[in-house]
Chain A
Amino acid sequence: MSRRPTLVYWIGFAVVLALLIAAPLVLPEFWRRLVTEILIWGLLAMSSDLLIGYTGMVSFGHSVFFGLGMYGAAAALLTASPPNLWLALLYGLFGAAAAAGFVAYFSTRLRDIYFAITTLIFSQIFYVIILTWTAVTGGENGLTFDRPQFAIPGLFHLRFTPTTLHWFVLAAVAGSYLILRRITQSPFGMVLQSIRENEARTRAIGYPVERYKIVAVMLSGLFAGLAGVLYALQNEFAAPDFVFFLVSGETVIYNVVGGIGTLVGPIVGAAFFLLLREGLSRFFTEFYLIPVGLIFVAMVIFMPQGLLGFMRRWLNQ
């Protein structure tokens, strides 16, 4: 781990960040919105990468954490007046982490595909609850609310414009990236990676594997919840569709396409797919998922490393 490549890495990070900061100033309305959405979905996928790429657990339950973040934010924005951004964040993150703790407690007893299937079933559980509990969640119609102001009490407050919202999302995503990167390089992250490599041996060395897994799922759920809050702020609604397991499936697709175990890869995967969707939906209208599925299957077979898999080592230095 020499000094020079690290410098190159940070320069690369700064360049990408600068480009994303400048993006809303130069891009037209439609594309600016798409970039913001890519960042939000990328954050969701990145949170899932902590499990898929670093711990070796494929989660099909991230729609739950994302959705709980959304509904948590909705709850805060609908009950508190005036609507408070920080309260929305707090509620959303708390909701997501609580759901993640609940799901993790049960599903981490199982490994590999059993974990995947169990998380999938949990996403269905939450979906059914949210869909049928109409009095609180609005059922099929979901909840709509107004976007809060960006305010620091006693200092200032200003209304979110699309551009400042983009910067807010970007700050959250970049911050999450740095935190997640730090987590994966910490001793805790090293244990997670050793669980991925050889769970039995990690247990034999004396690490409480289950506890590590539960914490990993909760951390991952926390960042997925953050993505949910951001999405709620961007679109000013929460809907049960986002809790449905297809969202989890898309999250996994972003990971595999972008390259697992890279953190950046999932964002690239999200960008790749959302752009592909934009491009393809012009020719295939609502059936764009057919070519998307074909590309995905081909990538699973022929390119299991993903788009950024070749630079995994460099990104994790």
Chain B
Amino acid sequence: MGILLEQLLIQTVNGVVTGMILALVASGLTLIFGIMDVVNFAHGELFMLGAYVGVLTLAATGSFWLALLAATVAIALLGALIYVTTLRPLLGRDPLTTILATFGISLILQNYALWQFGPVARKITEPITGHFTLFYLDYPWYRVVIALISAALIGALWLFLKFGKWGIWIRATMQDRVMAQAMGIPVPWVLTAVFAIGAGMAGASGVLFGPLTAVDHSMGVDWILKVFIVVVVGGMGNLAGSIVAAIFISLLEAYASLWVSPAQAVIVSFVVLILTLLFRPTGLFATATR
């Protein structure tokens, strides 16, 4: 019984840690969706490319924190580029076309990564190697640090949206695009900035998550599905909802992996999704009606 309780606590820590990273990726996606009705299928690929930029910068400079910064900036710029070249022409068309366009982009980016970096997985070394004792386990400090950094980034995003000048512009654009335009807000730039911010967050989470896994061209695919589940369960476009849902689902998966293999633990999140669709089709934490 004692062992089980300890395992439960360890899995709680694990769940919160992965949940925070998931929340970081999901908040970028849900921000992009909530403000411009774009479902970014390429979000997982941005995450993956962020990890690769991290690998390259780390190899060149040896500094993890520089790698984190470089990946955020590089992927944000890439996001802005993607937005201006492919999504801006689709403005005002059916949101479904944005799924199609970003699906095409995800194909391009994923195969570009395969071409450029090859099929061999890369590794990002942890910047913090210390451990502390959590019951019978040596728990790496780095995992805790990731959760804190993710929380800090999400908090910064929230503060920025709440008080920053651009943040207020972004919220105004979210509420009424035409009126915001009429008030002199540079809406096209606001939209580009939103996409860049969302992309940069995905890039940052790629670097943060890199040390926990192997970096390869297909890592984005696993993530995009998880993130979509989180975003649907949390209510699309609902920032707080997707953060709560990310932690909730990660915790459930962590607990489930006590009894079944991690590959099957994923099924738990599918069950959550199905139940959500059955009883609260607009998301567990939805406020606005659709």
Contact = CB atoms under 8 A, between A and B. Distances in A.
B103 A125 contact: no
B100 A252 contact: yes
A171 interface: no
Nearest to A123: B225
Interface string A81-106: 00000000000000000000000001
Interface residues of A, number: 37
A131 to B, nearest CB: 7
Interface of B is mostly: helix
Of A106, A107, A129, chain B has the most CB atoms within 10 Å of the CB of A106
Given A106-B278, A289-B111, A118 B96 contact: no
A132 B228 contact: no
A112 B96 contact: yes
B267 interface: yes
Given A121-B228, A293-B107, A301 B263 contact: no
Q: Which has the most chain A C-beta neighbours within 10 Å: B96, B104, B236, B266?
A: B104
A114 interface: yes
A113 B39 contact: yes
A110 interface: yes
Interface string B262-290: 01101100100110011001000000001
Contacts of B39: 113, 116-117
Contact of A296 (B104, B111, B263): B104
Interface in B83-131: 86, 89-90, 93-97, 99-101, 103-108, 110-112, 114-115
Contacts of A138: none
B256 to A, nearest CB: 13
A47 to B, nearest CB: 18
Given A290-B108, A292-B107, A113 B99 contact: yes
Contact of B86 (A107, A253, A297): A297
Interface of A, secondary structure class, is helix
A120 B111 CA distance: 20
B246 interface: no
Contacts of A304: 93, 97
A300 interface: yes
A118 B105 contact: no
B100 A256 contact: yes
A125 B267 contact: yes
Contacts of A113: 39, 95-96, 99, 236
A58 interface: yes
B239 interface: no
Contacts of A204: none
A148 interface: no
B228 A249 contact: no
Contacts, number: 108
A118 B39 CA distance: 13
Contacts of A120: 225, 228
Contacts of A128: 263-264, 266-267, 270
B234 to A, nearest CB: 12
B37 to A, nearest CB: 8
B108 A58 contact: no
Contacts of B110: 289
Given A58-B99, A117-B228, A132-B263, A109 B114 contact: no
Interface in A223-267: 245, 249, 252-253, 256
A176 interface: no
Most chain A CB neighbours (cut-off 10 Å) among B101, B114, B266:
B101
A128 B261 CA distance: 12
A114 B236 contact: yes
Contacts of A111: 290
Nearest to B115: A287
Nearest to B232: A117
A293 B111 CA distance: 9
A316 interface: no
A202 interface: no
B112 A290 contact: yes
A111 B95 CA distance: 12
A294 B103 contact: no
A194 interface: no
Given A132-B263, A249-B103, A121 B232 contact: yes
Contacts of A117: 39, 228, 231-232
B229 interface: yes
B232 A118 contact: yes
B225 A121 contact: yes
Interface string B252-264: 0000000001011
Contacts of B274: 106
Contacts of B263: 128, 131-132
Contacts of B94: 112
A242 to B, nearest CB: 16
Please provide the 4 A-B residue pairs with the shortest distance between their CB atoms, ordered closest to farther: A293-B108, A293-B107, A297-B104, A296-B104
Given A121-B229, A252-B103, 16 more contacts: A58-B96, A112-B96, A113-B96, A117-B231, A121-B228, A128-B263, A128-B266, A286-B114, A287-B114, A290-B107, A296-B104, A297-B105, A297-B108, A300-B97, A300-B100, A300-B104
6 contacts: A118-B232, A120-B228, A128-B264, A253-B104, A290-B111, A293-B107
Interface of A: 58, 106-107, 109-114, 116-118, 120-121, 124-125, 128-129, 131-132, 245, 249, 252-253, 256, 286-287, 289-290, 292-294, 296-297, 300-301, 304
